[in-house]
Chain A
Amino acid sequence: MSAKKKQTEEQLLNEVTSSEYKYGFTTDIESDTIPKGLSEEVVRIISAKKNEPQWMLDYRLKAYKAWLTMEEPEWANINYNKPDYQDIIYYSAPKQKPVLDSLDDLDPEMKKMFDKLGISIDEQNKLANVAVDIVMDSVSVATSFKETLAEKGIIFCPISDAIQDHPELVKKYLGTVVPARDNFFSALNSAVFSDGSFCYIPKGVKCPMELSTYFRINEAGTGQFERTLLIADEGSQVSYLEGCTAPMRDENQLHAAVVELIAMDDADIKYSTVQNWYPGNTEGVGGVFNFVTKRGICHKNAKISWTQVETGSAITWKYPSCILKGDNSIGEFFSVAVTNNLQQADTGTKMIHLGKNTKSTIIAKGISAGKSNGNYRGLVKISKGATNSRNFSQCDSLLMGDKCGSHTFPYIEVKNNSSKVEHEATTSKIGEDQIFYCNQRGIGTEQAIALIVNGYCKDVLNQLPMEFAVEAKKLLEISLEGSVG
């Protein structure tokens, strides 16, 4: 390598490391918090603060007791100091709870924050035709478009409201896809979740707009444990988006969410995530620990499609999965996971084929830069009864520089002879030849990398709704600024 080249690389590396997390501000809003630590008492306080019915409290207490007996999982290819679960605040809510649908009354500080985040809950979203629910520090603070949706019988509201207003639906479905005991983090979430989004699409209804939840951790020392429950009744269709950001803090913040999707016969759910939690600084100080359980169940002829663009968090542990229970059901997983600096990700999916003629597709694209570590972990399980089922998996890794790592852990279990599973995997580096070729055509190195990365992720980015795709592209460029190998 020539001296000049080395110098440019160092320069570029510096640029990456100095590219700032633009969402790292905090908002000065008075909040209602409870003391640190987790106990049965705390679970009771959370439930009481939300004025929950007895069945909900019972559910939480059962989950809490289960959690006490469980161990934090260690099988993922990540290294971190386990959080001290007694040093976390489990409930924090902005003191002023705004009246829904009259957002003019909103705390000006909060409104300012939304502007900074680029979420204008009124005009802008009316134009973009997106209904938004905003969850800040565990509590849902604003939901737009409730009325328009109600006309179609669609329920889209904070899950705490749903517990009050639609207990029959919550009671029937909560914990059916991700049982409290499923894993350490789902048990924790089931015990202490304070809010999240609830969505119900009635039979045969095609949701007329994108539904979106925006998650924000604001308060220091708090964990965020949101719970999302989405039910698409027979023959209905919905596209759902979620975005996440957090302030820059030099402590690690815990985020342990649970998302459950239920696609009844012939229903179609598309769930897209752009995850941009604070990744920590260049030395790996701070950043969000993102331990998330996401799973959906497909009944007959139903389809669930997960799309995720993961650029944030210090640690990501996340496997959005599909249980293909009904015959002819379809599961899809499209993922771009970027790690830079000292970020670590262990992410992938599980496709559990139970019904006949079920199909699943997995397209996972990992990009590792800096000293980061990116892992794909996926399970394709085809049960005995899932005859004539198909899976296609493609797992690609792109490495930038020579200090990062990338691993792929595919698990495949096929229990019948009529099914077909295909797995393809590639690992590549952005070639100097590719960059020189672009340079020779007048395209500078930064732009060339953006171009090459976008080309690499195209199959996934194409799955995102239009506005989100543009945002995701920008996010990729920011996350990887200058990381040339």
Chain B
Amino acid sequence: MIKITNLKAGIEGNLILNGINLEVKAGEVHAIMGPNGSGKSTLASVIAGKEDYEVQEGAIDFEEEDLLGLNPEERAHKGVFLSFQYPVEIPGISVSNFIKTSINERRKAKGMDPMPTPKMLKMMREKMELLSIKKGYLSRNMNEGFSGGEKKRNEIFQMAMLEPKLAILDETDSGLDIDALRIVANGVNKLRAKNNATIVITHYQRLLDYIVPDFVHVLHDGRIIKSGGKELAHELEEKGYDWITKDADKKWA
């Protein structure tokens, strides 16, 4: 689904990603772990097309199409979804209005008519149930006055509504208590399908107890220094990152 080749990118001349290689196939869940400052969120932003980041080398192919040539909204229309680490407030715009606009803009890009309102409302109700979201939520303004947990749940709700091909969850677990984490993870699991893929970016192994990955990658200094199965996450939880990063530091020194 997505193939990242030798990706080098940075901000204001500082290189943060030093040659990332990663392939995620349909139906797979990949976890990207790593210490602070290793480039996890940068990778997510570069895939989503945030303009602050400059790509200096490498390629990202999404379903065999060059993703880097597209602007952020075009990437979204193709099915790339980013669950933000810090979701943004949009005062005065209700959740329902925002999601409606979002869905219909994507449909417009595909030459489709807007989604009929009853259909959209039905879908919203279903997805709210899936994520144990209370009534009244749809008329609240986007992320305005939301708690940290509510913001994250709102991200996953949008993901559920937009049904992306590739979802990137950037630190979705941060700010969630254990109950909320379970609900969100449960939602993500229910949305897993053969034709979509998920990249889970996280600090802690905790989330991966609920969203079980097929592959785990360790990011350090903008490089993937180790990849493995789900057991790698447990190993990291036990031993920390040092045992891998030291070797990597020697190698790239």
User: Which A residues lie at the B interface, using CB under 8 A?
Assistant: 2, 4-5, 431-434, 436-445, 447, 451-452, 454-459
A to B CB contacts below 8 Å, 9 in the list: A2-B52, A439-B73, A440-B84, A442-B76, A443-B102, A451-B101, A455-B91, A456-B91, A458-B92
Contact between A443 and B82 (Cβ–Cβ < 8 Å)? no
Chain B residues positioned under 8 Å from A4 (CB to CB): 51
Q: How far is the CB of B41 from chain A (nearest CB, A)?
A: 13
Task: Please indicate which of the listed interface residues A436, A445, A451, A458 has the most CB atoms of chain B within 10 Å of its own CB.
Answer: A436
Contact between B54 and A2 (Cβ–Cβ < 8 Å)? yes
Residue of A nearest to B77 (CB): A442
Chain A residues positioned under 8 Å from B77 (CB to CB): 442
Contact between B76 and A455 (Cβ–Cβ < 8 Å)? no
Q: How far is the CB of A397 from chain B (nearest CB, A)?
A: 14
Chain A residues positioned under 8 Å from B48 (CB to CB): 440
**B90 interface residue (CB < 8 Å to A):** yes
How many residues on chain B are close to A (CB under 8 Å)? 33
Chain A residues positioned under 8 Å from B158 (CB to CB): 441
**B253 interface residue (CB < 8 Å to A):** no
In the bound complex, CA of A452 to CA of B102 (Å) = 13
Q: How far is the CB of B58 from chain A (nearest CB, A)?
A: 17
Chain A residues positioned under 8 Å from B142 (CB to CB): 455
Task: Please indicate which of the listed interface residues A2, A4, A439 has the most CB atoms of chain B within 10 Å of its own CB.
Answer: A439
Identify which of A440, A441, A455 contacts B92 (C-beta below 8 A): A455
Taking A436-B88, A439-B49 as given, write out 20 further A-B residue pairs in contact, using a Cβ cutoff of 8 Å, ordered by the A residue number.
Answer: A2-B51, A432-B52, A434-B90, A436-B51, A436-B72, A437-B88, A439-B76, A440-B82, A441-B102, A441-B105, A441-B162, A442-B102, A442-B109, A443-B73, A443-B105, A447-B105, A451-B93, A452-B93, A455-B90, A456-B92
In the bound complex, CA of A455 to CA of B88 (Å) = 14
Residue of B nearest to A396 (CB): B91
Q: How far is the CB of B43 from chain A (nearest CB, A)?
A: 15
Contact between A437 and B84 (Cβ–Cβ < 8 Å)? yes
**B230 interface residue (CB < 8 Å to A):** no
Residues of chain B in range 19-75 having any CB-CB distance to chain A below 8 Å: 48-52, 54, 71-73, 75
Contact between A454 and B90 (Cβ–Cβ < 8 Å)? no
* Dominant secondary structure at the A interface: helix
A447-B105, A451-B93 are known contacts. Are A5 and B51 too (CB-CB below 8 A)?
yes
In the bound complex, CA of A455 to CA of B141 (Å) = 9
Residue of A nearest to B72 (CB): A439
Residue of B nearest to A444 (CB): B73
Contact between B90 and A442 (Cβ–Cβ < 8 Å)? no
**B192 interface residue (CB < 8 Å to A):** no
**B87 interface residue (CB < 8 Å to A):** yes
Contact between B88 and A433 (Cβ–Cβ < 8 Å)? yes
In the bound complex, CA of A354 to CA of B73 (Å) = 55
0 or 1 for each of B135-154: is its CB under 8 Å from A? (1 = yes)? 00000011000000000000
Contact between B88 and A451 (Cβ–Cβ < 8 Å)? no
Residue of B nearest to A8 (CB): B51
**B241 interface residue (CB < 8 Å to A):** no
Chain B residues positioned under 8 Å from A456 (CB to CB): 91-92
**B127 interface residue (CB < 8 Å to A):** no
Chain A residues positioned under 8 Å from B215 (CB to CB): none
- Complex A-B, nearest 10 residue pairs according to Cβ-Cβ distance, in ascending order: A455-B92, A439-B72, A442-B76, A455-B93, A458-B92, A441-B102, A437-B88, A442-B106, A442-B105, A439-B73
Chain A residues positioned under 8 Å from B72 (CB to CB): 436, 439-440
**B98 interface residue (CB < 8 Å to A):** yes
Chain B residues positioned under 8 Å from A437 (CB to CB): 84, 87-88, 90
Identify which of B81, B84, B89, B105 contacts A444 (C-beta below 8 A): B105
Chain A residues positioned under 8 Å from B89 (CB to CB): 434
Chain B residues positioned under 8 Å from A443 (CB to CB): 73, 101-102, 105
In the bound complex, CA of A66 to CA of B76 (Å) = 65
Chain A residues positioned under 8 Å from B109 (CB to CB): 442
In the bound complex, CA of A438 to CA of B90 (Å) = 9
Chain A residues positioned under 8 Å from B84 (CB to CB): 437, 440
In the bound complex, CA of A434 to CA of B89 (Å) = 7
Residue of B nearest to A441 (CB): B102
In the bound complex, CA of A438 to CA of B73 (Å) = 8
Q: How far is the CB of B104 from chain A (nearest CB, A)?
A: 9
Task: Please indicate which of the listed interface residues A431, A437, A451 has the most CB atoms of chain B within 10 Å of its own CB.
Answer: A437
Residue of B nearest to A452 (CB): B90
Identify which of B52, B73, B87 contacts A442 (C-beta below 8 A): B73
Chain A residues positioned under 8 Å from B90 (CB to CB): 434, 437-438, 451-452, 455
Contact between B92 and A457 (Cβ–Cβ < 8 Å)? yes
In the bound complex, CA of A43 to CA of B72 (Å) = 63
In the bound complex, CA of A458 to CA of B71 (Å) = 29
Residue of A nearest to B103 (CB): A442
Contact between B98 and A441 (Cβ–Cβ < 8 Å)? yes
Chain B residues positioned under 8 Å from A2 (CB to CB): 51-52, 54
Chain B residues positioned under 8 Å from A458 (CB to CB): 92-93
Q: How far is the CB of A265 from chain B (nearest CB, A)?
A: 36
Chain A residues positioned under 8 Å from B81 (CB to CB): 440
Residue of B nearest to A457 (CB): B92
